[in-house]
Each structure stands twice: as C-alpha cells, then as structure tokens.
Structure 1
Amino acid sequence: MADPKNMFQCQVSNCGYIYDPDKGEPKTNTPAGTAFEDLPDDWKCPHCGSSKFTFRPLAGPGSVMEEGI
C-alpha cells in the first residue's frame, strides 16, 4: 500500500474511491506503479465516472485533513 500522501480519493458524494498507485487500476488499464499525477487528464474514476479533478490526496498539502474540511 502506498503512502497516504500518494493516494487520492474521489470527492464525489457517495463514491469515495481511493486510487492507490501501488495497485494501479485494472478497470482503466492503469498499471501498478502509475503515480496519480501521471494519469492522463481525461482519466475517470472507475466507480462513479467523475473526472480526475474531483480527487484530493488522502494526506499532506491539498488533502481534506490538511485543510480541516
């Protein structure tokens, strides 16, 4: 499992999918080891279909925890 700073969570309500770069994502043909930043801009959440831009890191700068949301 990747460091939480490298994992990103979909922020669409009722989704919450977490992208783990150590696992990749078979549903989108994303190989293990692919950093979230390296996903193409048109990559979609495999659970709800929302854009990559609806994701936030689990920890660190820009995360929900960091911003106290």
Structure 2
Amino acid sequence: MEKWGCSVCGYIYDPEIGDPENGIRRGTDFDDLSDDWVCPDCGADKENFDIAE
C-alpha cells in the first residue's frame, strides 16, 4: 500500500497507521477512504493528495 501526501500541508497518510483519531483503522488503503475524508491536519479534501515518494 502506498503512502499519500497532502499537497496543502505535507501530512502523509500511511495506510499502515490509518487515521485512528478519525475512525480509520490501520490497513485501510487510501483508495478505500470515503470521498468525504479530509486531511486531519489542515482539512484539505482527498483530491489534494498525491502519492508520496
């Protein structure tokens, strides 16, 4: 599973960690996040994320 980075603030979504503060369990692939999921740091929409290198 690939990591995804927020182009607004630099937050990295790592599927091995998930987003537990927002109910996203570890092992959840970025593509499986709901369309209304937002960056937990800055609130940017999912469309503002790109694959992190």
Tell whether the structures are fold-level matches, with TM greater than 0.5. Answer: yes
The structure having more radius of gyration, on CA atoms, is: 1
State the 4+ residue runs in structure 1 displaced beyond 3 angstroms: none
TM-score, L = length of structure 1: 0.72
Greater RCO, CA 8 A, separation 6+: 2
TM-score, L = length of structure 2: 0.93
State the alpha-carbon separation in 2 of the partners of residues 54 and 43 from structure 1: 11
Q: Name the aligned partner's letter for residue 43 of structure 2.
A: G
Unmatched runs of 5 consecutive residues or more in structure 2? none
Q: How far off its partner does 1:20 sit?
A: 0.2
Higher-helix-fraction structure: 1
Unmatched runs of 5 consecutive residues or more in structure 1? 60-69
